[in-house]
Amino acid sequence: MAPAGARRTRRAVRFAPPAENWWWDRLAPSGSGYHLLQSDSMLLVIPGPGPARPRGQRRAARRAKRLRPPGSRAAETKAKPGASPAPAPAPAPAPQQVPDPGWGDRIPLEILLQIFGLLVVDGPMPFLGRAARVCRRWHEAASHPVLWHTLTLSPPLAGRRAKSGAKAEKKLLASLQWLMPNRFSQLQRLTLIHWKSQVHSVLKLVSEFCPRLAFLRLSDCHGVTPDTLIMLARACPQLHSLDLQHSMVESTAVVSFLEEAGPRMRKLWLTYGSQTTAILGALLGSCPQLQVLEVSTGINDNHTALQLPVEALQRGCPRLQVLRLLNLMWLPKPSGRAVTPGPGFPSLEELCLASSTCNFVTNEVLDRLLHGSPNLRLLDLRGCLRVTPAGLCELPCQELEELHLGLYGMSDRLTLAKEGSPLLTQKWGHTLRELDLCGQGFSEKDLEQALAAFSGTSVGSHLALCSLNLRGTRVTPSTVSSVISNCPGLRYLNLESCRCLPRGLKRAYRGPEEIRWCLEQLLTSLPAPS
């Protein structure tokens, strides 16, 4: 009977001397996994089965052997029987686990600034305050002064008790003492709202740390002195736009500011008061670059008429592009017995004389303003009762895009013209995008002839009619359906209080779907042709 383990050592005994000179001596399992085959003259070490492994490990080893690629088995078959196995390659050092900084840190700072710049067009807050908390790279980008170019400051307790409002202004001012030099060194647009006591201190900080300021708006602010505006005009050489509407500002402060910064002023907004005439006098002689001038009284009625020096304004501000006299009672200043025509406004593109009350604007006054304005695009004459379609046709502008002739809340007490609307659409029907005839007394036939001019506009043209206000007029269902059919670009249609329309359709329509529904209803309500 063969001794135990003879089958395991058959390969080793094949190269040994005669078997009778050998005897077995198996070592106890010690973790080495070897057997000793010993004789009188030598010692042969034979690999053994090694220590017993758990059943789970043996099963995993068999599964790995079955799943080996075919190339590895062929290499084992071709290997020499007596060759020792190649040493296993040293395991590669495990890479150090470095925390992933995230995609935000991989974006270059210049690209991040451009992305943030698209999100802060209307102001840096609250976006930049939140973006600064994301990571260090975002904090660096959000803190860049180039993004803090627009700022609106309003005390949080404005409108409450005076003591609380003053305390809130001082608290905000303390924060600005650090923000101005660190964030707003490239500030361009500043708006202050509801400041009552600390306007001078805020503007002093602006004059010290914001040399690039170009636009300043003071809304419902008090305590603006001449020294404050002069200091700002000298410290900010790029300041060219000033909005002082609805603020308590001394007229001497505005006059002093215009004397200092007038040659570079481009835009000016004023609220009409007792000293507006003095401000206009300083404006005429020192602002040759002025492009926008607006004087308004808000929603309050004004019973004192302003005498506007039309010809002097044309000579003093030859580059004026926008002139707005909103809700203002005014009349042109007389210039002697014979009125010498002025040079006009050759660059004027917008004239707004809208008023909620009767004014003194007539065809003659309109001719004095616009006889030299061929590039006019917008004409707003809401409330100007004395202007007629025949007078409008005499204007030199040929490409008017917006015409507003609405009469709101005053047409019931007046005798209005019943003819003349076709003159307007025949002249500007090919360019008009917005037309407002609210409250006008034109007859049904007159409106039908006027609105028929829009049938010749090209389909899909960017100048096609897109807004039409016929509120309170005598427009008929057939005329409205014809306008909708011939104006595919129409997006707003107001038919409120139109007495000739059937019930249920007298309302405002917004969007193509509502206007299309209105057309369907009108077509079903029209009588069948005989």
- β pairing state of 508-510 and 492-494: antiparallel
Q: Rounded mean pLDDT of 5-21?
A: 45
Which residues does residue 386 pair with via DSSP β-bridges, in sequence order? 362
User: At 519, is the secondary structure helix, strand, or coil?
Assistant: helix
- Lowest mean per-residue pLDDT among 51-65, 69-83, 217-231: 69-83
Residues 452, 422: Cα–Cα separation, whole Å: 9
pLDDT for 121 = 74
By percentage, how much of the chain surpasses pLDDT 90?
40
pLDDT at 2 over 70: no
Residues 88, 123: Cα–Cα separation, whole Å: 65
Burial of 326 (0-12, 13-18, 19+ CB in 10 A): middle
pLDDT at 26 over 70: no
pLDDT for 148 = 83
Q: What is the pLDDT of residues 284-324, one digit of tens each?
A: 888 999 999 999 986 555 567 788 889 999 999 999 999 99
How large is the angle between the packed helices 251-261 and 276-286, nearest 10 degrees?
Answer: 0
Q: Taking the mean position of all CA atoms in its chain, how far away is CA 11?
A: 87
Is 214 in contact with 188 (CB distance < 8 Å)?
Answer: yes
Q: Closest Cα to residue 344, out of 378, 307, 371, 317?
A: 371
Structure tokens at 196: 């009552």
pLDDT for 305 = 79
pLDDT at 39 over 90: no
Fold category of 102-147 in CATH:
Monooxygenase (1.20.1280)
pLDDT for 328 = 85
The four Cα atoms 45, 49, 52, 55 give a dihedral, to 10 degrees, of: 160
Residues 95, 74: Cα–Cα separation, whole Å: 33
Which residues does residue 436 pair with via DSSP β-bridges, in sequence order? 404, 469
Which H helix or E strand runs over 36?
Answer: strand 34-39
Is 316 in contact with 283 (CB distance < 8 Å)?
Answer: yes
What does the domain layout of the chain look like in residue ranges?
102-147
Structure tokens at 176: 């600005």
Q: Which residue has the tokens 């005014």?
A: 330
Q: What is the pLDDT of residues 75-103, one digit of tens each?
A: 555 555 555 555 656 666 655 655 555 66
- Lowest mean per-residue pLDDT among 30-34, 198-202, 510-514, 518-522: 30-34
Single pTM value for the model: 0.75
Which residues does residue 331 pair with via DSSP β-bridges, in sequence order? 307
519 — pLDDT class (breaks 50, 70, 90): very high
